[in-house]
Amino acid sequence: MQILGKCLVFPTRTTLLYSTYSMSKATTFLKIIDSHTGGEPTRVVVDGCADLGNGTLAEKREILKTQYDWIRTSTLLEPRGFPAMVGAVLTEPHDPSCSAGVIFFNNAGYLNMCIHGTIGLAVSLQHMGFISTGSHKIDTPVGIVTAHLHDDGSVSVDNVPSYRDQADVSVDVLGYGSISGDIAWGGNWFFLIDQQENVPAVTSSNISHLTKFSTAVMQALSNQGISGDDGQPIDHVEVFGPPADDQSDSRNFVLCPGGEYDRSPCGTGTSAKLACLYADEKLTPSETWRQSSILNTIFTGTVSPLTESNKIIPTVTGSAWVNGETTIIIDPNDPFSKGIHF
Ligand code: PYC
């Protein structure tokens, strides 16, 4: 990591001191950088986070989840956030070769990996003056990824090893009948569905129908015990359709855990798609896949096959824009200081 004149500053683990502030001493402050990647928001907590210990990122995530879930709920839930928002905590890496560690979360809980969020994190760190163009390894709960920050502001992410676990799996979906799809790992577990009978068209005018359909698929997968490796739940459903124009190869709709759809083309979903294309011999390492989102924002992707396994390293490229800097105030007298819980 190139550091611009100073060390990368990790969360101070202390409440920021606002000496002129007239609030109670128990008031907590979280420093936030907001960005969006292809329309999908990322809210990174860069200061004020709790002590998550010195363990692996998976262990830190468990501490965050069991002891400090209020950091997730106060940053993402209403009245400060909204359901589609993805959040992240910047923390120390466990692996010393990494520049930073990150834990992603959303309205429903904690994510394994998030590529639009990693792209957002990279531009946020650049915005703060902590990194410059170049390659930066980042520790996550599911492994190390590398973010390459380019001169034009775009970011490429070398993801964790990805693969198709099962092809042509049929699931009986209430109200829609038998639907066939592939199960693939791209840093999260995905059920990938191509157009077929009873599958809604992937257009922006169809978002509520796509949400209803994908929610029914997610429920059916869970009810019928259809899962990823080691019984891990499939928590993302990805529906594909033809591109809206010649700028991409395909358009997708991705339902995330928590019931919201990804406004970006979903980087881990694009990784899962790349793994399926590679397994079907429809994509070679010299080709680029252009995946469009439901908003017609685009990620490009390439594959690097790993020898001695059927896995690939996907590289996904996109752009993000910083669109806010704020300090969240958690006032113990505010009944909704830690978010509205329905
Ligand atoms: O870009 O990987 C992604 C992602 C996961 C959930 C929302 N976005």
Residue 3: the pLDDT is 35
Q: What is the amino acid identity at position 97?
A: S
114 catalytic? Reply is yes
Residue 342: the pLDDT is 80
The answer, yes or no, to whether any atom of ligand 1 lies below 6 A from the CB of 34, is no
Each residue of 118-129: b (16+ CB within 10 Å) or e?
bbbbbbbbbbbe
- For the CA of 265, the closest atom of ligand 1 is 1
Distance of alpha carbon 181 from alpha carbon 267, whole angstroms: 19
Question: Of the candidates 252, 254, 296, 327, which has an alpha carbon nearest to the alpha carbon of residue 106?
Answer: 254
Residue 15: the pLDDT is 39
Chain centroid, CA 48 distance in Å? 22
Residue nearest atom 8 in ligand 1 by C-alpha distance = 266
* Parts of the chain with a pLDDT under 50: 1-22
Residue among 118, 263, 268, 298 whose CB has most ligand 1 atoms within 8 A, to mutate = 268
Side-chain half-sphere CA neighbours of 81 within 13 A: 29
- For the CA of 116, the closest atom of ligand 1 is 1
> Alpha carbon of 92 to those of 89, 197, 244: distances in Å?
10, 48, 41
Distance of alpha carbon 230 from alpha carbon 256, whole angstroms: 21
Residue 192: the pLDDT is 99
The answer, yes or no, to whether any atom of ligand 1 lies below 6 A from the CB of 238, is no
The structure tokens 């406004």 sit at: 263
Question: Of the candidates 258, 270, 263, which has an alpha carbon nearest to the alpha carbon of residue 110?
Answer: 258
> Alpha carbon of 156 to those of 32, 208, 299, 331: distances in Å?
23, 31, 9, 39
- For the CA of 114, the closest atom of ligand 1 is 2
Distance of alpha carbon 28 from alpha carbon 126, whole angstroms: 26
Q: pLDDT for 93-145, tens place per residue?
A: 999 999 999 999 999 999 999 999 999 999 999 999 999 999 999 999 999 99
**At CA 36, angle to CA 181 and CA 237, rounded to 5?**
10
Q: Residue 24 C-alpha to ligand 1 middle, in angstroms?
A: 37
Q: Residue 119 C-alpha to ligand 1 middle, in angstroms?
A: 10
- E strand residue ranges, the chain: 28-37, 40-47, 86-91, 100-105, 134-140, 143-149, 155-158, 163-173, 177-185, 189-193, 236-241, 250-255, 289-292, 298-305, 312-318, 320-330
The answer, yes or no, to whether any atom of ligand 1 lies below 6 A from the CB of 264, is yes
Q: Residue 325 C-alpha to ligand 1 middle, in angstroms?
A: 22
The answer, yes or no, to whether any atom of ligand 1 lies below 6 A from the CB of 256, is yes
Residue 5 region by backbone torsions, left for phi larger than 0, else alpha for psi between -120 and 50, else beta: left
Residue 60: the pLDDT is 98
Residue 156: the pLDDT is 99
Catalytic residue among 49, 98, 256, 266: 266
**At CA 240, angle to CA 237 and CA 246, rounded to 5?**
145
Distance of alpha carbon 330 from alpha carbon 63, whole angstroms: 20
> Alpha carbon of 287 to those of 244, 301, 302: distances in Å?
21, 9, 7
Catalytic residue among 98, 114, 256, 276: 114
